[in-house]
Each structure stands twice: as structure tokens, then as C-alpha cells.
Chain A
Amino acid sequence: MPLYEESVHKTLDRIRRSKLNAFITITGEDAIRTARGVDDGAVKGRLAGMTVAVKDCITTRDVPTTCGSKILSGYVPPFDAEVVARLKKEGAAIVGKTNMDEFAMGTTTESSYYGPTKNPWDLTRVPGGSSGGSGAAVAGLECRMALGTDTGGSVRCPASFCGVVGIKPTYGLVSRYGVIAYANSLEQVGPMARNVSDAALLLDVISGHDPKDSTSVGEADGAHYTDHLVENARGLTIGVPKEYFGEGTDKRVEDAVWNAIMKLNKLGADYREVSLPHTKYALSAYYIIAMCEASSNLARFDGLRYGLRTGKDENWHTTFSRIRAEGFGEEVKRRIMLGTYALSEGYYGKYYLKALKVRTLIKRDFERAFKDVDVLAAPTMPFPAFRLGERMDDPLSMYMADVDTVPVNLAGVPSVSVPCGFAGKLPVGVQFIGGFFDEPKIIRTAYTFELNTDFQKLPGEF
């Protein structure tokens, strides 16, 4: 059997035998057809024949797209998201749609209507979220690379918990056309891979201006991030934001991140402590903005035109209310209600506008810091992967887990999470945060770190 086709078959077999539940839909035939095309020479491109998995909130033409929700049951989009179109153009063999927290609202992938995904390092633990299916699939060798979306850490968290690389690009760098919105002003599609080189390559392919997305910026063909896969830490100044360490952070995580900073220091980088003083307000501001936007974004799911349609049709209000009551999970309902409340007359100024002000202050914190340093280094997650079910009944403690990732989304700056050690058997991630469009710098930092360390391990067989 030809090379690419065989390789895709092997990957598909692995997915089908897997205990991870990383995929909601497998697109085996499409992947095999593409691989054959590559073997024949008919399909070419920068990702020719490479297996890629796509998070299930990213629209795929003629392939069910569920957002991990019951409410989108039966929905088959008639169009491709821009990022998917770019994957196809570059010859990627798309193997399937990955599991996720319902509408990307979560940190564990447990809120999926399609059941939780498991962490390949320990099947009793969560893979992180909300792009947990993508993270687990990459770590579990069920694809070579994957797309996730990062609204408040949803690429970086699973990257950290699953021991892989994940990039949250600068807001506007990657088209959101076809990405089913949770919180439009915060989210970006980001690449996930087992090493920095693959992540940079995937970013090359998906980035670049798209006229279909008014918030997209840059040149049409994107920048060339693979050009910045350069081993060189000299001249680099790393900022260590003190607010990201200390109380609430697992000691083993803190040690691993500090070790990473010291390693880069040995390789020629300078480091200094910096302060991002408004960090403590980030979590509240993030959840208010995200929930407000979500309450509006999710209003379209009424069962009228697509998705779940159950029972007998009665009058309009009764029917769509029943469909929404049945179709949405608890966490989604919680966020829609809170967001609706916060946008209501009399509360709008107190919550939404105030959160926007905090957002501006947080952006300024980063701008000020990047006057003195090139990149910031901080824990991606304050602790390693927790046990399945551990935080499901305590939404507040679940939200707290996002404390180190959300400021980046509020500011719109890029960040890459790379493995930097282990807490027991579980991987730990460090994130390198850059200024606006400073992807070249964070990629260079992450690549240099990766080349000089030995944390890119694979989990054992599961």
C-alpha cells in the first residue's frame, strides 16, 4: 500500500481502537482519499498527507459540526470554515472532528454531550479544555496536528495537560469565518502539535487576512513563522510576571516554569521580574465579557432552521424554549443566563462596560511590560491535569483554573504553551507570551527551549 494511504489507515485504526474519546466524528474516507491523492501526486501542499484533526466548533462542509452540543444534532454545514479551506488547499488529510466542552465553555472537555475525553497520560484525568479532544488526539498519536480554539485558554490548557505544543495567535491573525462563536472578541483558532515546528507550520497555513472576517488583519498569505524556527536565545529578555506565581499555583508547576526560565538564561537570555498589576481582575472581566457575548451568540440555536427539533411544534415561544431547554447542557445554560443578566438594562454599565474598562487596563499592563521585555514566561495552568469529575460540581473552582490563560485573550496578544516538565507522571506547560504580532519571538523562544530540553515525551500506551 502506498506510503501516505497506509499511514492514514494506521492513524484511523488507532482512533477507532482508542479509549480517549477524542473524536466526535471520524472522516476516514475523506482522509484516505486525500492520502491517495498525495501518493498519486495529484494532491500537493505544505501539509500534503499530514493527518490533521479539527475541533468540532470549526465548520466543515458536509461533515457534522456539533460544538459538543446536543442542540446541533444533525446539523451538517454547507460551507467550510476559512481555516479548513486552507488546510484542504495545502493537502492536509483531515481525520475527524474532535471532542470539546459544549460550545467551548469549559476547562476539561467534560461538558461535551458526547462524553468526556480522557487524558492519554492518565485515563482517570481530564485532558484539559475546551479543545481537549484536539490535545488528547495529538498526544495520543491519533493525528499529527490539530486545530483548537482559544477563547480563555482553550488551546493552551489542553496543550499543557496533554504535554503538547499549543499556540493562541494574536487576535485577528487567523480568520474566524466558520468558527462557531462562543465569545467572538476573545477567540482565535490555534494550532496544536507535538513540537514547535509542526505548530509553526500549521500557523503558517491558517494565518493571513480573510475578507470574510472583518476582524482579520495582515497579508492574505500570512507570515512565514517557520522562518523563525531558529535556535537562539541570546539577546532575549524574558519577563517573569510575579502575579502568575504564588498562591494557588502548584509548587511543582512553579519549579518547572522557573527551571525553564533558568534554562533559557543559560542559553543566553536575560530575565527579570515584571508586574502586570491588573491580573487579579482578569478572571471576572473575562467571564463577564465571554458570557455576555455567548448569551447573544447562542440565541440563534432555536431548532427552526437546523439542529435539534424534538416533540410536537406548538407556538413559537413554547417550541424554541423547549428545544433550547433540551438541547443545551447545564454549563451553557448557566453562562447564557448570567450573560443575559449582565447585558440587561441597569446592569450593562455595572458589569459589561466595567469589564471592558478592565480589559483596557489589562491590555495596557501587557503593553507596558513589553516595553522592557521581549517575551513573558509563566505557567500555562496553575496545576497539572485534575481528575475526571473533580470540579464538575463547583463551577467557580473550575473558572479559577483559567487564571493564567485569560489575560492573554483579554489583551489579544499571542502565547505559546510548551511542555516544561512533569508533576509526577503528568506533564506541565510553560507559556511564552508575546506582544501583538510577536509570534516570531515566542516561536523562536519556544523552539530554542524545546531543542535544548527533553520534555517532548509521548505518553505510554493506553
Chain B
Amino acid sequence: MSDVIIGLEVHCQLNKLNSKLFCGCSTRQQGLEPNVMTCPVCLGLPGALPVINKKAVEYAIMVGLALKCKVAEHTQFYRKNYYYPDLPRGFQITQYDYPIASEGVLTVDTDGEERTVRIRRVHMEEDPGRLVHQGSIETSKFVLVDYNRSGMPLIEVVTEPDLRSPKEARRFINKLRNILEYLDVFDGSLEGALRVDANVSLKGGSRVEIKNISSYKGVERALLFEISRQHSMKRRGVKVIQETRHYDDERNCTITLRTKEQAEEYRYYPEPDLVPLSVKGWEPRLRASLPELPDAKRERFKVQYGVSDNHARVMTAEIRVANYYERVAEKCEPRMAATWVADCLKGELNYRDRDVKDAFPPGKMIYILEQLKSGAITDKGAVEVIRTLLDEDGDPKVIILAKNLAKVETNITKVAVAQVLKENETAIRDLRAGKIQAFNFLVGKVMEKTSGRADPTEVNLLLRELLECT
């Protein structure tokens, strides 16, 4: 039993919305010049007033429902007051009392069992601007501020301290991302889309908050570092103090930001420029609009396509993979399709650290599987086509021709088998003497002769036939 206690606060940009949380500025800002996607509202110019983006509230409610939360009937925004150059009003508009949703659950797979993680609350808030330092934060002589990000809609998902290991934390984040992408409210592949604060302690010890974790892999790494730091202190008999630490991604360590005594005082109070929002009656409509979520899709895949639990799990872990699979399975034998999508394609993508959205279209996969089924190419050939498509793109038909991947005709294989038998009498003798490995040696020789284009099953069959005759 682990002595580690972890709670997470996950901030996700609702970057599938068209406009920011309180103004009409676009949320599409990737690659823009700094400070061009701004207006008086998100620059906090004096006199400009926020107006709530109703669609953002709907998205937040959908997230709450997907996490099995209670959705509030009335929700309210608060001001969180603190001074920072990325915060153009000197306060952040966020939620405090009356969050949009609370008391939900999310189950994650741990090794061998499922862990139910309780969700304390889901709330909406605006993103501050982005600070740009020259070099590192310590050596930079000045700080530049880009307000393009200011006012980007965020949801913050806060868990209870129910996670027991860094691996579980990573799985929680992945599952959450997965759900948000299923809901089509979030694109986790965009830079800065996700930021995590983690609270971690050892049983009986003080709680340490780690801020500024901004990548999926960083979550696990930051927690691993912090837990080993706390374990080592415990071993040495040093007391862990309650504090907030900053995660330095480049150096992979956490450093003290402030201790409990320096805790910030945010002076939360209700935002007077936004009247309390009644969302009473919104829930049924939004609940009806929820798409099929990962757990439900996984069960359906098992029933509808007869695929294994493992294949179903891998393919539903990302909405784009699941959709890809379904388009292939429409035209091909579903279990075969599952093997090729879940094992081969997904594996090749992982190896290349690429997303399925950057893979070739399902139509090409369907063509490859058709060729495979008809016996025109071998498994090995199919893998080669897939790799070539991922690395160089192109037309699978052309690739098969160009790389000479078409399976060799049976009579050519026969000739090759006969030749191999003639040239390897020693091996045949060994085989007859009971050395089973000699058979595999012969298969290998035939494959060598056909440049690997013979069908191994067919080679097996032909070898047996001819060996029995002689």
C-alpha cells in the first residue's frame, strides 16, 4: 500500500470555443504576433466590462456532467485579487463559492484494478496573459507580456486527494484529456492547453503544492521528483514543511516558491460586473447533447466488433483513434482491423511520438487490409506499407509496387522450397533425426530466397508437403 497522497488541480483551455471567456476576441492565437488578439476587455482597459460567453458555460456544464458532477442552478464569478504583470486588471475573474459543478467521479485504470477519483469541483476562469523571459526566469533582465492568451476560457478540475502514485496521476490526466476531447471542447495537442498544480504529501506529513506543470509527461516526472524528495527527507528525519513549490521542467526539479507564512491573500469577492448566472433548466438539454464517452464506447466496441478488452481500451483512449478504427471496421473484418489499428498503427505512431490526426487517412488502411486479406501482400509487407506511409506518405498501391512488396506466386515459392530442400540436405537429416529447430531454419532459407515476400504460412505448408513426399 502506497503512503503517497496526491490531489490535482487541472486547468484546461476550452480552446474549441470560438471566442474568449468575457469578450469577442478569437481563441485561435497559435502563431500570432504578440498582443494582436486583444481588445479593451481582455486588456482590462479602464471602463471595459466583461460579458460571459454562454457557450463556455455550456461547455463547462458538459464537462461537469461527463464527470458525473452535480451541476449548480446558480453560478457566480468572483474576483481573485493579486498583482502580477500578466493580469491586466490586477484580479482574475474566477469562481469561488458556487462553482458550476461539484462532487463528481472519474475512474482510472491502475495496475490490475480501477481507482475511483472523486472530483471536488469544476469551475470556470479566465487565463492570464503569458510572460516571456529572455533566457531563463532568473537571468532575464526584463519580462515581456503577451496578452493574446488573456481571457482564454479555462476550466479547472479539482480532485480530492485520492491518487496514490505519479503513474495514477498521469493516467488521470490522460483520461481527463480524453473525455474533454470526446466532448469536443478541448484540443489537448495545442501548446499551453493544459496546466496542472499538484498537491502531494506522504501519509502523516505536510502537504506540498507544486505549481507550473505544463506537460502531460511533466505531471509524472514532477511528482516522482517531489515524492523522492519527501521520502529522502523523511529518511533523514527532516520535517517536510507546508509550502508551494515551482516545477522546473528543464531541470526536472521543484523549488520553493513560498511557505505557508507567505501564503497569498486573494481577497475573493463576488465580481460586481457579472450578475449571478442562473443555469436552471440548462442541464437536460446539455445532458442529451453529450456524446458517447470513453467507457461506454469501450463496452460497445467489445460487443459490436467482438474485439478484446485490451484493443477496445487502446482504441477508445483517444477519440481520434476510436473514430479512425470505426471507419476502417466499416469496410474490413473488425477484429483484423482492431489488430492493425490498435497494435500496428498506434504502436508505430507512439514510436514516432505522433498523433493519429497526423497519420494517413483510414481509406489507405482499408486498402492495405484488403490487399492483406486477398493474399496480395504479407503481414510483413503490410507493416512496411504502413511505415512508409507514416514516414514518406504516398499511395499504398504505388508503395507495394515500388518496394516490390507483392506476395510471390505460389509456384515461385514452390520452386524456392524445392531449391532450399536440395541445397540443405544436412538440415533435412537433422530434422529427420528429431531436431525440430531445423524446420525453422529451412523456413528462413525460403524467406531469404524470396526476399521475404513469400507467405510464411504457405512456406510452412509447402515445406511439410514436400518433406513428407521425399
A-B interaction: yes
| Contact of A300 with B44 in the complex, beta carbons under 8 Å | yes
The B72-94 residues at the A interface (CB cut-off 8 A) are: 79, 81, 83-85, 88-91
- In the complex the two chains form, what is the Cα distance from A326 to B401 in whole Å? 78
Shortest beta-carbon distance from A8 to chain B in Å: 27
B281 CB–A CB distance under 8 Å: no
| Contact of B269 with A296 in the complex, beta carbons under 8 Å | yes
1/0 per position for A52-78, CB-CB distance to B under 8 A?
000000110000010100001001011
B83 neighbours in A (Cβ, 8 Å): 299, 302, 316-317, 320
B274 CB–A CB distance under 8 Å: yes
Taking A299-B83, A305-B88 as contacts, is the C-beta distance between A180 and B46 under 8 angstroms? yes
**Interface locus among A9-17, A192-200, A212-220:** A212-220
Shortest beta-carbon distance from A411 to chain B in Å: 16
| Contact of B49 with A302 in the complex, beta carbons under 8 Å | no
A79: nearest residue on chain B (CB-CB)?
A: B40
- In the complex the two chains form, what is the Cα distance from A75 to B45 in whole Å? 10
- In the complex the two chains form, what is the Cα distance from A213 to B48 in whole Å? 9
B89 neighbours in A (Cβ, 8 Å): 299-300
1/0 per position for A78-97, CB-CB distance to B under 8 A?
11010000000000000000
| Contact of B273 with A81 in the complex, beta carbons under 8 Å | no
| Contact of A214 with B275 in the complex, beta carbons under 8 Å | yes
A304 CB–B CB distance under 8 Å: yes
- In the complex the two chains form, what is the Cα distance from A352 to B78 in whole Å? 14
The B326-344 residues at the A interface (CB cut-off 8 A) are: none
A78 neighbours in B (Cβ, 8 Å): 40, 45
| Contact of B272 with A185 in the complex, beta carbons under 8 Å | yes
| Contact of B48 with A79 in the complex, beta carbons under 8 Å | yes
Shortest beta-carbon distance from B232 to chain A in Å: 33
B352 CB–A CB distance under 8 Å: no
Shortest beta-carbon distance from A436 to chain B in Å: 15
User: Which of A179, A344, A345 contacts B47 (CB under 8 A)?
Assistant: A179
- In the complex the two chains form, what is the Cα distance from A293 to B90 in whole Å? 13
User: Which of A77, A79, A81, A348 contacts B269 (CB under 8 A)?
Assistant: A348
Taking A300-B89, A302-B83 as contacts, is the C-beta distance between A344 and B40 under 8 angstroms? no
The B47-88 residues at the A interface (CB cut-off 8 A) are: 47-52, 79, 81, 83-85, 88
A210: nearest residue on chain B (CB-CB)?
A: B49
1/0 per position for A244-279, CB-CB distance to B under 8 A?
000000000000000000000000000000000000
| Contact of B43 with A180 in the complex, beta carbons under 8 Å | no
Shortest beta-carbon distance from A427 to chain B in Å: 32
1/0 per position for B135-146, CB-CB distance to A under 8 A?
000000011010
**Interface residues of A: mostly helix, strand, loop or mixed?**
loop
A389 CB–B CB distance under 8 Å: no
B260 CB–A CB distance under 8 Å: no
A292 CB–B CB distance under 8 Å: yes
A211 CB–B CB distance under 8 Å: yes
B422 neighbours in A (Cβ, 8 Å): none
A59 neighbours in B (Cβ, 8 Å): 45-47
A211 neighbours in B (Cβ, 8 Å): 51
A213: nearest residue on chain B (CB-CB)?
A: B49
The B230-273 residues at the A interface (CB cut-off 8 A) are: 265, 267, 269, 272-273
B91 neighbours in A (Cβ, 8 Å): 296, 299
1/0 per position for B148-188, CB-CB distance to A under 8 A?
00000000000000000000000000000000000000000
Shortest beta-carbon distance from A77 to chain B in Å: 7
User: Which of A213, A306, A317, A348 contacts B45 (CB under 8 A)?
Assistant: A306
Taking A215-B273, A292-B269, A299-B90 as contacts, is the C-beta distance between A81 and B47 under 8 angstroms? yes
A23 CB–B CB distance under 8 Å: no
A343 neighbours in B (Cβ, 8 Å): 81, 267, 269
| Contact of B88 with A77 in the complex, beta carbons under 8 Å | no
User: Which of A179, A181, A212 contacts B51 (CB under 8 A)?
Assistant: A212
B41: nearest residue on chain A (CB-CB)?
A: A212
| Contact of A214 with B273 in the complex, beta carbons under 8 Å | yes
A340 CB–B CB distance under 8 Å: yes
| Contact of B269 with A352 in the complex, beta carbons under 8 Å | yes
Shortest beta-carbon distance from B371 to chain A in Å: 59
| Contact of A293 with B45 in the complex, beta carbons under 8 Å | no
B269: nearest residue on chain A (CB-CB)?
A: A343
B81: nearest residue on chain A (CB-CB)?
A: A296
Shortest beta-carbon distance from B53 to chain A in Å: 12
1/0 per position for A168-201, CB-CB distance to B under 8 A?
0000000011111100110000000000000000
- In the complex the two chains form, what is the Cα distance from A197 to B388 in whole Å? 82
* Candidate in B49, B90, B269 with the most chain A CB atoms within 10 angstroms: B49
Shortest beta-carbon distance from A172 to chain B in Å: 9
Shortest beta-carbon distance from B144 to chain A in Å: 11
The contact sample of 27 A-B pairs, CB cut-off 8 A, is: A77-B45, A78-B45, A79-B48, A180-B47, A181-B273, A184-B273, A185-B272, A212-B51, A214-B49, A214-B51, A215-B275, A296-B267, A298-B90, A300-B44, A300-B89, A301-B46, A302-B83, A302-B90, A305-B43, A305-B44, A306-B45, A316-B85, A316-B143, A340-B267, A343-B267, A348-B267, A348-B269
Q: Lowest 7 A-B CB distances belong to which pairs? A: A299-B90, A343-B267, A184-B272, A185-B272, A178-B47, A180-B46, A59-B47
- List 9 additional contacts besides A72-B46, A75-B46; criterion CB under 8 Å: A77-B46, A176-B47, A179-B47, A185-B272, A213-B49, A214-B50, A295-B81, A296-B269, A348-B269
